[in-house]
Chains A and B, each alone.
Chain A
Amino acid sequence: MKPSVVKAQPQDVLKDASMIKQKQMMAAHYDRLTQAPETGAKVASTFVPGNLNELIMCFDLVNNLPEVNAIQSGLRKQSGAYIMEAERAGHSEDVCTYVKSDIGMMMKGNIGPNGKKLPDPDVLLLSYTGCFTFLKWFELLREQYKCPTIFLQTPYMADGKVTPNMIQYMVKQLKEDVIPTLEQVSGVKFDIDRLREYLKKSAQAEDDLVYILQTGKNKPSPIDAYFGGIYYIGPIFGAFRGTDDAIEYYRFLREEVDERLAKGLGPVTPDGPMAEEKYRLVVEGPPNYTSFRQFWKMFYDEGATVVASSYTKVGGTYDFGFRHDPDRPLESLAEYCLGVYTNRSLPMRIDMLCNYINEYEADGLLINSIKSCNSFSAGQLLIMREVEKRTGKPAAFIETDLVDPRYFSAANVKNRLESYFQMVEQKRSGKGAAA
């Protein structure tokens, strides 16, 4: 006797207006990228965490993000074949699957999600080193494209704070290395007032994003800050920060969320509005992209909403007050890089997660540990113990992968999640009941 699996057809999938808008923006960006050879635009490849989109725009460069490409391949069920391709070329099974998906995609003609060939980069800009793999990744890309490579070194926040020294060190690199190289590659002279203008726009969108993410504090939460949150962070952590498009998108999204909030509604899932909020969770770690919908469904079917997540801080952390600042342009770029989630020490991450559990009145912490991502996974069991101890809330640990479909075992993940939800339930109701 097999359970009948009802697979929703694409036209059945419900999306709210903001999600459609976000998709259109992403599509427009991919078109801009793939049309670069015709338009003559130059391309900078860079990573999501701590990216310098405002600076890149100052040189009329188009921003290409290999991780986002890998995510798109994962969502489109192509990453599996790309990863195998990269493994055939000699990359080990344990290497970051974003890297392998990207390398495999390159080997298969570098076709983007719009079905057109992605352009070769004119410059590689590595602005962040919280993830050591990034370094190796760009080493491979440099070998492939033989283009100028810039390495902006970001000190790790081992002591839990940003010192003036760190900022000076980074500003010096920006002035002496990053900006001159970008000028050379693009042929555009750097204009700091143009940067200030972009930063002003960034801050405006950032205010709305923070507002939106913090609506998770309401009961019920009008957003899912993990599965939904991934859509929300797309523009700000991608190629739109500093643009009018981003301002418009976050304003639009804010209104949409406010409307649900006013009506006391929960998040919109692919199967429609969430019925009842039974569990409020904080999630640590990236999601799985190859079975994204199936993974999400395991939550909303059980009435679980993610009210806060660390992954939505992976590009940069705004909820403790940081905003891009036109009055301190280079300094605030440095601060942005320093503040990204994985550049924070373990004690800082623990503080953040405890803070989320308390402020968002969550029922517990769920860690999705990614097999091929050491920068997230190292120390996660310790984090879990400590958060449990400090908050008294139950935690659970599941293991999947970013874009390697071989490491998503649906039955096991579902089994764990159900156990966890029931454990939360038992702890909640068991307080008074006799054993």
Chain B
Amino acid sequence: MKTFVGIDLGSTTTKAVLLDEDETVLGRGITNSRSNYETACSVATEEAKIDARFTLFRREFGAAGTLGDQVEEFLGALERSFRLEQFLEQLTDLEETCTRLVRGERFEKIGEGVKAALAEVFRRLRAEAPAMYAPDADRKSDFFRDIAGSRYLALAEEVGRESGVPYDVLLNIYDKSIIAVENRPPSGSLDEKFKNALQRVSKEKTDAASVLGKKAEHALGIELEETYLVGTGYGRVTLPFSKEHIRSEILCHGLGAHMMYPKTRTVLDIGGQDTKGIQVDPRGIVENFQMNDRCAAGCGRYLGYIADEMNMGLHELGPLAMKSSKPARINSTCTVFAGAELRDRLALGEKREDILAGLHRAIILRAISILSRSGGVADQMTFTGGVAKNEAAVRELKKLIAENYGDVTININPDSIYTGALGGAEFARRAAEGRMEGLDA
């Protein structure tokens, strides 16, 4: 089937959305942007394709109808099995990379011993991998680096002790290899991994598993053809895309918000390093926009900085600020000044929640100013970006919008982080459509 990919290369994370020909979202993928946009781009796209596979499985199962709980169980098992396949593949890459490093003068005498030790470490890693992906296993992270890293170190210490190979040699080899592995775009065929995963799951010879397994196999036969791709976001210019595959993030956010909520007329996006106020027409076409200019005061990073200053997690700020009944009046949106003001007020004995509520209000005041410069707020408004997940920021926004613009519906989508990528994917779909029409004529 034809699919259309939108990729949003943000300063913090890279997002991908896969659309089908009916403008339905098939899959979404996200990864950290790293310092390597190209890898981030292919990882996010692959993640979106994996997500899309599961959408297709569900569609296929949906046609069968009545298996209910067993479908969820099956899909859960399939996903864990698939992640295990992915993990094993990267583990192989890591082992090969590590082994390749064992050469040269340094290893002249100990080379064979080190190679044997590495082989043993990876054998044990591979052996314990299935347990890491068992139904009730608790994984602290989904990133390969985190999962493989901690276990490698533990096993290397063990094996080193047993075989007499110095631990720091094994550690050094790992440190050099992991960066290369992590920055390598994903290799190997997705279908192959799905087939292996499916085989493992289908071993449990229940009726449901075999019925679902067959259907999944059928769904796997549907090829996901990457018909057209559009990139947006900060990293877009560094991508090996030609110009017609690049759209501005303003346009993508406007269109994405329109697709999520067709009655959107105003979009507010507060991301890590910029705040955008966008006005769109009934078709999602951008009419006007404003962004913060010379300075990123009052953007997402502001909250990150405050969280660091207060020794809190970013996600803890909102809930604490919600407890405030008497928000402090803080005018500065300069991140550095806010830090000073924060310490000052704490020293004066003001409550943490009141100060935090004041800081959230300051951010939203700045956003309101950008919105008013872009032409104000029209009904409905859609709020996107990382800060839209912060309940205290949302509360202040609702208050200030009501005060300044009256009764306005404010939409916040749980998938709002994908707004830009969604718009990009739709641009891709339209571009492909245009091209096909062109060919027909």
Q: Tell me which of A158-166, A198-206, A286-294, A427-435 binds B.
A: A427-435
Q: Is the CB of B284 closer than 8 A to any CB of chain A? A: yes
- The answer on a CB contact under 8 Å between B283 and A415 is no
The one of A3, A409, A418, A422 in contact with B293, judged by C-beta atoms closer than 8 angstroms, is A409
Contact present for B251 and A422 (CB under 8 Å) = yes
A395 touches B285 (CB 8 A): no
A379 to B282, CA, bound (A): 29
Given contacts A1-B37, A426-B285, 10 further A-B contacts (CB under 8 A): A2-B238, A3-B238, A394-B288, A399-B294, A419-B286, A423-B286, A433-B283, A434-B283, A435-B258, A435-B284
Q: Any chain A CB within 8 A of the CB of B287?
A: yes
Per-residue A-contact encoding for B272-295, CB less than 8 Å = 1, 0 else:
000000000011111111110110
Does B249 reach chain A (CB closer than 8 Å)? yes
**In contact, A3 and B237 (Cβ under 8 angstroms):** yes
Determine if A416 is an interface residue (Cβ-Cβ < 8 Å).
Answer: yes
Q: Does B373 contact A (CB under 8 A)?
A: yes
Q: Top 6 A-B pairs ranked by shortest CB distance? A: A435-B283, A419-B248, A419-B250, A399-B293, A430-B285, A423-B286
B-chain residues with CB within 8 Å of residue A407 when the two chains form the complex = 294
Complex contact B293–A412 (CB within 8 A) = yes
Closest-CB distance, A357 to chain B (whole angstroms): 16
Chain B residues 400 to 441 lying within 8 A of chain A, measured CB to CB, are: 430
Bound complex: CA A422 to CA B251 (Å):
8
Q: How far is the CA of A425 from the CA of B290 in the complex (A)?
A: 18
A175 at the interface (CB under 8 A from B): no
Whether B115 sits at the interface, judged by CB under 8 Å, is: no
Nearest neighbor of B286 in chain A, beta-carbon distance? A423
Q: A3-B238, A418-B248, A422-B248 are in contact. Are A394 and B291 (CB under 8 A)?
A: no
Question: Chain B: which residue is nearest A434 at the CB level?
Answer: B283
Contact A1 B287 (CB under 8 A): no
In whole Å, how far is B385's beta carbon from the nearest beta carbon of chain A? 16
User: Which chain A residues border B288 with CB–CB below 8 Å?
Assistant: 388, 394-396
Give chain B residues whose Cβ lies under 8 Å from the Cβ of A433.
Answer: 283, 430
Interface string of B285-323 (1 = CB under 8 A from A): 111111101100000000000000000000000000000
Complex formed: what's the CA distance from A426 to B36 in Å? 31
* Docked CA distance A326–B53 (Å): 82
Q: Does B38 belong to the interface (CB within 8 Å)? A: yes
Is B186 among interface residues, defined by CB-CB distance under 8 A?
A: no
> In the complex, what distance in Å separates the CA atom of A172 from the CA atom of B23?
73
Closest B residue by C-beta to A369: B293
Decide if B282 touches A435 in the complex (CB within 8 Å). Answer: yes
Write the chain A residue with the least CB distance to B284. Answer: A435
Q: Does B185 contact A (CB under 8 A)?
A: no
B375 within 8 A of A: yes
**A394 adjacent to B287 (CB under 8 Å):** yes
Q: How far is the CB of A341 from chain B (nearest CB, A)?
A: 23
List, in ascending order, chain B residues with CB within 8 A of A399's CB. 293-294
- Chain B residues, CB < 8 A from A397: 290, 373
Dominant SS at the B interface? mixed
Number of B interface residues in the complex (CB < 8 A):
27
A430/B283 contact (C-beta < 8 A), A418-B248, A419-B289, A422-B251 known: yes
Could you say which residues of chain B place their CB within 8 Å of the CB of A412? 291, 293-294
Contact with B along A344-386 (1 / 0, CB 8 A): 0000000000000000000000000001000000000100010
A385 touches B36 (CB 8 A): no
Residues of A close to B291: CB separation below 8 A: 412, 415-416
- Cα–Cα, bound, A395→B282 (Å): 18
Contact A385 B238 (CB under 8 A): no
Q: Which residue of B lies closest to A385 (CB)?
A: B375
Compute how far the CA of A136 lies from the CA of B294 in the bound complex, rounded to whole angstroms. 27
Q: Which of B336-393 contact A (CB under 8 A)?
A: 373, 375
Instruction: Please report which residues of chain A, range 398-414, place their CB below 8 angstroms from some CB of chain B when the two chains form the complex.
Output: 398-399, 407, 409, 412
Task: Tell me which residues across on chain B come within 8 A of A426, comparing CB atoms.
Answer: 251, 285-286
In whole angstroms, how far apart are the Cα atoms of A371 and B295 in the complex? 13
Contacts of A409 in B (CB 8 A): 293-294
24 pairs from A and B in contact (CB 8 Å cutoff): A1-B36, A1-B38, A3-B237, A3-B238, A395-B288, A396-B289, A412-B291, A419-B250, A419-B251, A419-B289, A422-B247, A422-B248, A422-B250, A423-B248, A423-B250, A423-B286, A426-B285, A427-B286, A430-B283, A430-B285, A433-B430, A434-B283, A435-B282, A435-B285
- Mark B324-344 against chain A: 1 for CB-CB distance below 8 A, else 0: 000000000000000000000
Interface residues of B in 203-260 (CB under 8 A from A): 237-238, 247-251, 258
Q: Which residues of B contact A388 (CB under 8 A)?
A: 288
- Closest B residue to A407 by beta carbon equals B294
Whole-angstrom distance between the alpha carbons of A395 and B290 in the complex? 11
Contact yes or no, A423 B289, CB < 8 A = yes
Contacts of B251 in A (CB 8 A): 419, 422-423, 426
Q: How far is the CA of A418 from the CA of B238 in the complex (A)?
A: 15
CB distance from B30 to the nearest CB of A (A): 20
A427 to chain B, nearest CB (A): 6
Complex formed: what's the CA distance from A87 to B287 in Å?
40
CA of A426 to CA of B430, assembled, Å: 12
A397 to B372, CA, bound (A): 13
Partner of B249, one of A2, A395, A419, A427: A419
| A245: min CB distance to chain B, Å | 40
- Bound form: Cα–Cα A434–B287 in Å: 16
Residue of B whose beta carbon sits closest to that of A421: B248
Residues of A within 8 A of B375 (CB): 385
Q: In the complex, A325 Cα to B285 Cα: how many Å?
A: 50
**B282 contacts across to A, CB distance below 8 A:** 435
Minimum distance in angstroms from A274 CB to a CB of chain B: 16
* Distance in Å: Cβ of B378 to nearest Cβ of chain A: 14
Q: How far is the CA of A409 from the CA of B287 in the complex (A)?
A: 24
Q: How far is the CA of A35 from the CA of B373 in the complex (A)?
A: 50
- B165: min CB distance to chain A, Å: 36
A415 to B237, alpha carbons, bound, how many Å?
10
Give B83-117 interface residues, CB cut-off 8 Å to A.
none
A179 to chain B: closest CB distance in Å?
A: 46
* Most central of B237, B250, B251, B293 by chain A CB within 10 Å: B293
Chain A residue at smallest Cβ distance from B37: A1
Q: Which residue of B lies closest to A418 (CB)?
A: B248
Beta-carbon contacts under 8 Å, B260-274 to A: 262
